[in-house]
Amino acid sequence: MIKIVHAEHIGNKIIRLQFSDHSWGDYDLQPLIDKRTELVIPLQDNTYFSQFFLELGALCWKNGLELSPGSLCRKLQEQGRLHAGSEAA
């Protein structure tokens, strides 16, 4: 099962994710935030957005929002944004 092993906020609402299989990609969360659901509304605030953490390989925020590593990896692959190898560009 794939896990996120490192996550870094690189600007705007984009987080660079590195996965346990050594793949990586830059995931833009703005489309999710634009849906304005109860759990993502707090992410509009840049300070709150940057307070994400990893728990059991998932991307999480303290309000209970949890994004699964498998889903994020799959979406990056579908978007052509998943890169092989351990070095982020």
Is position 83 within any domain? no
Domain hosting 17: range is: 4-78
CATH code for the domain of 47: 3.30.2020.10
pLDDT attached to residue 64 = 97
Rounded distance, CA 63 to CA 86, Å? 30
Rounded distance, CA 39 to CA 42, Å? 7
Is position 12 within any domain? yes
In this structure, the dihedral spanned by the alpha carbons of residues 46, 36, 79 and 51, taken in order and rounded to 10 degrees, is 30
Series of mean pLDDT values for 10-residue runs along the chain (89 residues): 97 97 97 97 96 98 98 97 76
pLDDT attached to residue 85 = 81
pLDDT attached to residue 88 = 55
